[in-house]
């Protein structure tokens, strides 16, 4: 298990590499070229310079989150082969720079979705939260305004202004794309990138849909154990892996996370481990990582990862905003550092108990 922290890169993150370096046990970061757009080929020089910055701080790049997939690939539109070629070139360059894990998602139009970015909890911390009734009242084409108003000036991953400015067009692109079509486009993409992944030993970890059900009438396909098994079998090669995101999969209370970990044994490329507190079937908020602060059993999750031989990269996920820190919602330093320590504490105890 390699503990890491997500870091958005110079100019985008309030957290510094020097701070990350001081979290015990964290050896590296998960990062990206945040300024690139889906579909662009990443410049070799930019990858090198990012790597140099990280390494000069005494850390390493343990993976990329994300290389985003262009909507033409997701919808199977006319230019998909050209965008797949670009994606392959980016993977080749990452592989040549010795980077071997890439997280991505195949969610139509929106990346992860929340109805609130700063819900106040009893202890005074604020957290990201989701309430289906609020989402049901939002006109998706105005989601941009809602998120902008909530995100305090930070650009949220997956909610880049360039995309949000084209919502009507994006919705139109997905009009004919149902679950089956989206799934076959994903398989087409994975088959096409197979040779470059195998050549450079790159593991792709698909991020589950968050929340784990269709929203705004758009299909979502990585939502539960059955869909994950279907995908892992459809392209049954080690490079086709999963990002086990406990918070995303856990948004659906029916999902048994330890059961999913067992089903994906050997194919979990990356793990995002965080806790949620369920208030009702249609409402959840993000809790501290500690089991007793939320509804999930973090010990069982870590134990199942251990028992199934997980050796990949892990990171604490969204943190609460605490101690007056101002940061991108979910991505401050303090609560994620607490999370990293707690998860490592669980891991040490599990390992020593054999």
Which residues would be at the binding site for ligand DNO (CB under 6 A)? Answer: 65-66, 103-105, 111-112, 157-158, 207, 245, 272, 318, 330
Buried b (16+ CB within 10 A) or exposed e, 188-205: ebbebbbebbeebebbbb
Sign of the torsion formed by the C-alpha atoms of 258, 264, 265 and 266? negative
Q: Which residues contact 178 (CB under 8 A, 6 or more apart)?
A: 219
CB 222 within 8 A of CB 182: no
Asked if 142 is an active-site residue, the reply is no
Shortest distance, CB of residue 197 to ligand DNO, whole angstroms?
16
Shortest distance, CB of residue 293 to ligand DNO, whole angstroms?
19
- In the DSSP assignment, the letter for residue 321 is B
Shortest distance, CB of residue 348 to ligand DNO, whole angstroms?
25
CB 146 within 8 A of CB 159: no
Of the residues 71, 72, 224, 317, only one is catalytic, namely 317
Residue of this chain nearest to ligand DNO (CB atom): 66
Shortest distance, CB of residue 354 to ligand DNO, whole angstroms?
32
Of the residues 70, 100, 318, 334, only one is catalytic, namely 318
Nearer to ligand DNO, 111 or 350 (CB): 111
Quick one: angle between helices 80-96 and 179-200, nearest 10?
Answer: 30
Q: Which residues contact 346 (CB under 8 A, 6 or more apart)?
A: 298, 299, 302, 303
CB atoms within 10 A of CB 35: 11
- In the DSSP assignment, the letter for residue 277 is E
Of the residues 72, 210, 239, 245, only one is catalytic, namely 245
Of the residues 70, 100, 272, 289, only one is catalytic, namely 272
CB 191 within 8 A of CB 235: yes
In whole angstroms, what is the distance from residue 78 CA to residue 90 CA?
20
CB 336 within 8 A of CB 4: no
Of the residues 70, 100, 200, 207, only one is catalytic, namely 207
Asked if 207 is an active-site residue, the reply is yes
Nearer to ligand DNO, 12 or 350 (CB): 12
In whole angstroms, what is the distance from residue 346 CA to residue 310 CA?
14
Query: Residue 111: in which H helix or E strand, if any?
Result: none
In whole angstroms, what is the distance from residue 147 CA to residue 62 CA?
30
Asked if 70 is an active-site residue, the reply is no
Nearer to ligand DNO, 34 or 78 (CB): 34
Shortest distance, CB of residue 30 to ligand DNO, whole angstroms?
9
Of the residues 154, 331, 334, 342, only one is catalytic, namely 331
Nearer to ligand DNO, 246 or 291 (CB): 246
Nearer to ligand DNO, 31 or 344 (CB): 31
Nearer to ligand DNO, 158 or 250 (CB): 158
Shortest distance, CB of residue 318 to ligand DNO, whole angstroms?
6
Q: Annotated catalytic sites, by residue? A: 207, 245, 272, 317-318, 331
């Amino acid at each position: 298990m390699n503990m890491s922290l997500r870091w958005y890169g110079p100019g985008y993150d309030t957290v510094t590499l020097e701070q990350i370096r001081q979290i015990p046990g964290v050896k590296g970061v998960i990062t990206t070229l945040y300024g690139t757009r889906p579909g662009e080929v990443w410049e070799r020089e930019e990858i090198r310079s990012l790597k140099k910055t990280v390494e000069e701080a005494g850390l390493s790049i343990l993976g990329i989150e994300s290389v985003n997939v262009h909507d033409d690939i997701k919808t199977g539109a006319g230019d998909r082969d050209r965008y797949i070629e670009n994606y392959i070139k980016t993977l080749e360059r990452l592989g040549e720079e010795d980077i071997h894990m890439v997280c991505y998602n195949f969610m139509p139009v929106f990346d992860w979705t929340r109805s609130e970015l700063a819900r106040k909890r009893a202890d005074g911390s604020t957290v990201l939260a989701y309430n289906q009734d609020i989402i049901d009242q939002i006109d998706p084409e105005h989601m941009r305004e809602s998120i902008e108003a909530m995100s305090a000036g930070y650009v949220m991953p997956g909610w880049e202004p360039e995309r949000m400015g084209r919502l009507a067009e994006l919705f139109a692109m997905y009009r004919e794309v149902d679950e089956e079509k989206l799934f076959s486009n994903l398989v087409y993409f994975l088959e096409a990138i197979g040779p470059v992944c195998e050549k450079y030993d790159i593991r792709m970890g698909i991020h589950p849909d968050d929340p784990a059900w269709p929203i705004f009438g758009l299909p979502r396909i990585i939502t539960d154990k059955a869909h994950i098994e279907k995908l892992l079998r459809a392209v049954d090669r080690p490079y086709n892996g999963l990002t086990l995101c406990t918070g995303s999969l856990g948004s659906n209370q029916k999902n048994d996370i330890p059961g999913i970990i067992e089903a994906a044994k050997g194919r979990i490329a990356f793990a995002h481990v965080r806790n949620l507190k369920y208030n009702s079937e249609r409402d959840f908020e993000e809790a501290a990582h500690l089991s007793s602060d939320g509804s999930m059993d973090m010990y069982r999750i870590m134990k199942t990862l251990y028992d199934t031989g997980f050796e990949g990269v892990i990171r604490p996920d969204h943190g609460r905003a605490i101690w007056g820190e101002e940061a991108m919602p979910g991505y401050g330093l303090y609560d994620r550092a607490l999370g990293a320590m707690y998860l490592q504490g669980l891991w040490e105890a599990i390992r020593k108990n054999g």
